[in-house]
Every structure is written in C-alpha cells, then in structure tokens.
C-alpha cells in the first residue's frame, strides 16, 4: 500500500509541475568589452616610415679615418644610414676641431647618431688635453668619487656633442697579469659594484648614455681579446658568482646599454660570448631581466679572427641578442668590412631571414630618452 501511495504522489507532482521539453536559457550575455589598441608610440611612428636600409643602419656604430668629415666619409654615412660613430684618437686633435666634426656628422643623417667614445680615463682616454677627463678608474677610492668623476667627464663630453661613453669598466679583476687590470676599479667585489653604480648614475645625470663593460667579464684570464680569444673555464655552478658585478649593477640602477666582450666559456657554451645566444639572450636578457641595449665590443678585434666570414659573424651576433655592432676600423684589417656587413644584413632582412624591428625600436627609445632626437 505504501508503494502505491508513493507512485501516486510522483504522478500528481509530475502533472502539476511538468518539466519543459526544452530548457531555454534567457540570461542575457554581457556585451563583450572591445579593447582599443593603444596609440602608436613615437618610436613606432618613426619605424613605420623607415626603409630597410635605414633600419639596418641603426644597428651599427662605425669608425672612420681622419679629423674631418670629407666627402667620401660623409657619403658613406648618408648612403649607409649609419646609427652611430665611434671616435678614436685618430679623429681628435682639439676641442674646436672635435665640435666641428661632431656637428658635421650629426647633420648628415635624418636620424641623429650615437656619438660614442672610449673615455674611461687612465690608459683608455681619447681626449687627453684636460686632466679631469683622464683620471684612471684605478685611482677612484670611493663611490662618491666615482659619481663625481663620471659627472665631470659626462658634462664635458655632452658639451662637445658626444652622447655615449663606452664606460665604465665594471669587471672585478684581481689578476695583475690581466690586460684589463689597469682599467678597473680597485677594492673588494662589493666596492667595485658600488663604484660602478655611482659612475653610471653620474653619466646618466650628465645626459650621457653610459655603456658599462665588458659583460660577462675577463676575470680568470690574461689573454688580450684585441689579439686572441680569452678562454675562461668556469663551470655552470660558478656562473652567478662570476657575473655578480653585472647582476648587482643591473638590479640596483638603470642601465640603458651594456657592452659584451669577446670571451669564451667552453663549459657553458662553445661559442664566443659575442655570438652566444646562451650568454646574451638566456643569461643576460632572460635571467637578469635586462631590457636595455646590447652593444658588441669591436667586431674587428683578433678574438673573432678565423671564426667564420665576418658577414656570418655579424648575423650570428645580432641573432644572439646584440642590438648594435661596432666596427671601428682601428686596425684596418678588412678595408671593406663596414660596407660588406651592412649590405649582407640588408639582404638578409629583405629576404625575410632576419627581423630587426624590435632592435631598432630599442635604439630609437634610447635616443629619444637622452634627447638625441625627438619626434619633431
């Protein structure tokens, strides 16, 4: 009897409250929010109007012979849309001459150039007529002195029209046999880091793009990379300690450009650092979260001799993470190297084998940040 009553109850409920054959959901979906794309940045607007040749030109800092810009040199700058010039001692004779030269250079191209120089002080100082510009890093005793020295040098360089200094050397070098020993700050690793940070801040305050160097460092080797390839046989588990000066500097101040040296770390990557994706992209850009410009040491140095054709080396260096390559003609080993690497990269970009837009955008951003040029 109880079972019959239960069945009747179910039938009555089903009759009174029938289940619809099809459930209709009448809930209104909210209108999707359409995100408007952000307006293009000034550097993106400039990039849109640049030819491949103009873009490729931004990837190079070239040197030249002479203390004036003759017709041949000026034509080369214009034809190759060069992004930067490196001034060496062979280009400098007096303050007046140097100002005139820089003015001539900057009026040659639509996009103003990086006018760079090695003015570390001590043995590497291209301008030597003022003792305040030649103080060696080895004689800097405190972080405040490092700041003051960089600020003084930077302001004077700026007054000449120079906007980039390939300095300071921020490596921790303890081996007196190192070719770079007379160019570095003295003291403990921590003291070197403090002085390096202060110097970079001094240059930045003066309006100069500081290019600390030479990542990842020449410690543990006495080989001069101007002539041969230094080899450092540290293991992977020693890497973080080895690059501590660079890692600490990057995490404690703004670094808009950094120079990569020519060194080989065979236990980490068989390729020299300049062409090593592992050393530049993985360990510098990714691991250290570095977003500034990566600039090679001079690509004509002996450390890279016989590695490959210089055209292929240039491509490998750019693909490894360098944004700018330096060819200073300081030894004139390859008279046509500047033209050859430029033309080769132009062809590679036009053929779709390389994408350089992000590199060019980074370069334009730094030039705008330091008022080297503006959108107007």
**Domain regions of the chain by residue span:** 57-369
Look at residue 2 in the predicted model and tell me its pLDDT.
Answer: 45
Q: How far apart are CA 349 and CA 369, in angstroms?
A: 27
Integer distance in angstroms from the first to the last C-alpha of the chain? 96
Q: How far apart are CA 200 and CA 204, in angstroms?
A: 6
CB atoms within 10 A of CB 255: 23
User: Strand pairing of 209-210 and 164-165?
Assistant: parallel
Q: Is the dihedral of CA 363, 280, 340, 90 positive or negative?
A: positive
* Predicted structure pTM score: 0.89
Angle 286-292-296 (CA atoms, 0-180°, nearest 5)? 90
Is there a contact between 311 and 341 (Cβ–Cβ < 8 Å)?
A: yes
Look at residue 31 in the predicted model and tell me its pLDDT.
Answer: 72
Instruction: Confirm or reject CATH 3.20.20.300 for domain 57-369, answering yes or no.
Output: yes
Look at residue 356 in the predicted model and tell me its pLDDT.
Answer: 99
Look at residue 333 in the predicted model and tell me its pLDDT.
Answer: 77
pLDDT along the chain (376 residues), means of 10: 44 46 56 81 94 98 96 94 97 98 94 98 96 96 98 98 98 90 96 98 99 92 87 95 96 98 96 98 98 97 90 98 95 88 98 98 98 76
Look at residue 306 in the predicted model and tell me its pLDDT.
Answer: 82
Give the number of C-alpha atoms closer than 13 A to the C-alpha of residue 310, restricted to the C-beta side.
21
Which tokens in the block code for residue 288?
């250290």
Which tokens in the block code for residue 361?
């955008």
């Amino acid at each position: 009897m109880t079972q019959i009553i239960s069945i009747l109850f179910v039938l009555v409920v089903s009759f009174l409250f029938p289940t619809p054959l099809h459930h209709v959901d009448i809930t209104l979906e909210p209108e999707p929010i359409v995100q408007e794309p952000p307006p293009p940045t000034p550097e993106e607007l400039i990039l849109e109007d640049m030819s491949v040749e103009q873009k490729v030109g931004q990837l190079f800092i070239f040197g030249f012979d002479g203390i004036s810009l003759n017709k041949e040199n000026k034509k080369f700058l214009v034809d190759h849309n060069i992004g930067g010039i490196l001034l060496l001692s062979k280009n400098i004779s007096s303050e007046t001459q140097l100002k005139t030269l820089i003015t001539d250079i900057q009026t040659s191209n639509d996009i103003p150039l990086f006018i760079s120089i090695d003015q570390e002080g001590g043995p590497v100082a291209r301008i030597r007529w003022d003792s305040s510009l030649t103080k060696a890093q080895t004689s800097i005793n405190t972080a405040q002195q490092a700041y003051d020295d960089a600020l003084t040098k930077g302001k004077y360089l700026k007054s000449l029209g120079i906007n980039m200094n390939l300095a300071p050397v921020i490596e921790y070098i303890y081996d007196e046999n190192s070719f770079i020993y007379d160019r570095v700050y003295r003291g403990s690793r921590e003291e070197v880091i403090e002085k390096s940070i202060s110097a970079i801040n001094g240059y930045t305050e003066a309006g100069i793009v500081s290019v600390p160097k030479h990542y990842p460092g020449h410690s543990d080797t006495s080989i001069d990379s101007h002539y041969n390839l230094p080899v450092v046989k540290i293991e992977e588990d020693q890497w973080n300690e080895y690059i501590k000066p660079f890692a600490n500097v990057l995490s404690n101040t703004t670094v808009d450009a950094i120079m990569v040296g020519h060194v080989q770390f065979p236990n980490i990557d068989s390729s020299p650092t300049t062409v090593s994706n592992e050393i530049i992209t993985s360990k510098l850009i990714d691991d250290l979260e570095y977003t500034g410009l990566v600039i090679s040491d001079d690509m004509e140095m002996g450390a890279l001799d016989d590695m490959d054709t210089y055209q292929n080396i240039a491509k490998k260096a750019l693909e490894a993470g360098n944004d700018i390559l330096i060819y200073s003609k300081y030894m004139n080993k390859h008279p046509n190297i500047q033209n050859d690497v430029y033309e080769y990269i132009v062809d590679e970009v036009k053929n779709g084998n390389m994408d350089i837009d992000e590199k060019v955008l980074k370069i334009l951003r730094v030039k705008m940040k330091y008022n080297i040029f503006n959108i107007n």
